[in-house]
Amino acid sequence: MTRDDARLKMSDPASYRICVQGRVEQSWRGRLGGMAAEEAVAADGNVVTTLTGALADQAALTGVLQMLYGLHLPVLSAERIADVPEQDIQDAPSRPPAGGRADEE
């Protein structure tokens, strides 16, 4: 494999960990590309939600980040944690469903 072949491409599936300040309400979790959500209280007393899961491509990642922005949840970090074999992500949506703003519900 050449160096160029090893690069992440925009269309490559991958697993991500995204941390946001605040709670992702249960009713919105289904719109986050199938990512699992876990809440914790940080040392400063703020609730931090960690989203973890596989996304189909960079468009799906952008969709999740836009959804979080629409929910007014500050992103603390976003990290690619693993490559995902394409066959393992066939059922994952490439983008979260339309209606990414919290005030649209």
pLDDT at residue 95 greater than cutoff 50: no
**Structural domain of residue 21, as residue ranges?**
11-85
Residue 101 maps to a domain: no
Average pLDDT over the chain, rounded to an integer: 82
DSSP output for 43-67: TTS-EEEEEEEEESSHHHHHHHHHH
For residue 5, give Cα distances in angstroms to 1, 2, 13, 14, 54.
6, 5, 15, 16, 21
pLDDT at residue 73 greater than cutoff 60: yes
Residue 73 maps to a domain: yes
Residue 20 maps to a domain: yes
For the chain, what is the domain count? Answer: 1
pTM assigned to the model? 0.76
Residue 102 maps to a domain: no
Q: What band does 88 get if pLDDT is binned at 50, 70 and 90?
A: low
Per-residue pLDDT, 89: 55
CATH (domain of 71): 3.30.70.260
Q: What are phi and psi of 5, to 5 degrees?
A: -70, -25
pLDDT at residue 3 greater than cutoff 90: no
